[in-house]
A = this chain, B = another copy of it.
C-alpha cells in the first residue's frame, strides 16, 4: 500500500498482498525477540490441554507479519500512529499461510501529507480472517504534489 504517496491513495482502494507461511521458526524466533514464551506457543504438551489442542502463533506475530507483507517505499510512511479494533478472530496454526488485504477507509490532510485510515484483514489459506484491525498511518505527499 505504501508504494504510494498520500495523494496516490483514494478511499475505497483495496489490494491483496503476497503470502507468508507462519512456521514453527517464526513462532520460536518471535518468542525469542519479544520474551513471550507462553506455553500456548512454545509447549506442545501444555497446548494439548487447551481448546486449541496444539501450539498456535502469537496474535501479535500474525499482526506484525501482516505489516511486513505490505510494500513500503522510502518517503511514503512518516509514522505509524496507531490501531483500533484489533481483533484476533481465529488461531494461526504452524504451517498456515497468511496474506493481508487492505482497504482505504478514510483520508485526512496533515502536512506534509495526511493520515490514512485502513482496514486490514489478515486471511489464511482457507480464506478465514485470522486478524482484523483498523490502522492509522501518517503518509507523505508525492514530490509532484508537494511541488504543486
Listed in ascending order, the chain A residues whose CB lies under 8 Å from chain B are 18-21, 23-26, 28-40, 42-46, 50-51, 55, 58-61, 63-65, 67-69, 71-74, 77-88, 95, 97, 125
Establish whether residues B77 and A61, one from each chain, have CB atoms under 8 Å apart when the complex forms. no
Establish whether residues B19 and A97, one from each chain, have CB atoms under 8 Å apart when the complex forms. no
Establish whether residues B21 and A43, one from each chain, have CB atoms under 8 Å apart when the complex forms. yes
Q: How many copies does the complex hold?
A: 6
| Residues of chain B with a CB closer than 8 A to A29's CB | 25, 28-29, 32-33
Choose among B32, B63, B74 the residue that contacts A33 (Cβ–Cβ < 8 A): B32
| Residues of chain B with a CB closer than 8 A to A51's CB | 78
Known contacts A19-B43, A43-B21, A84-B85: does B74 contact A64 (CB below 8 Å)?
no
Q: Report whether over half of chain A's contact residues are helix, strand or loop; otherwise say mixed.
A: mixed
Choose among B43, B58, B125 the residue that contacts A18 (Cβ–Cβ < 8 A): B43
| Residues of chain B with a CB closer than 8 A to A43's CB | 18-21, 74, 97
Cα–Cα distance between A127 and B147 once the two chains are bound (Å)? 28
Cα–Cα distance between A51 and B77 once the two chains are bound (Å)? 12
Establish whether residues A60 and B55, one from each chain, have CB atoms under 8 Å apart when the complex forms. no
Cα–Cα distance between A24 and B87 once the two chains are bound (Å)? 29
| Residues of chain B with a CB closer than 8 A to A31's CB | 32, 35, 68
Known contacts A26-B33, A61-B33, A72-B36: does B88 contact A86 (CB below 8 Å)?
no
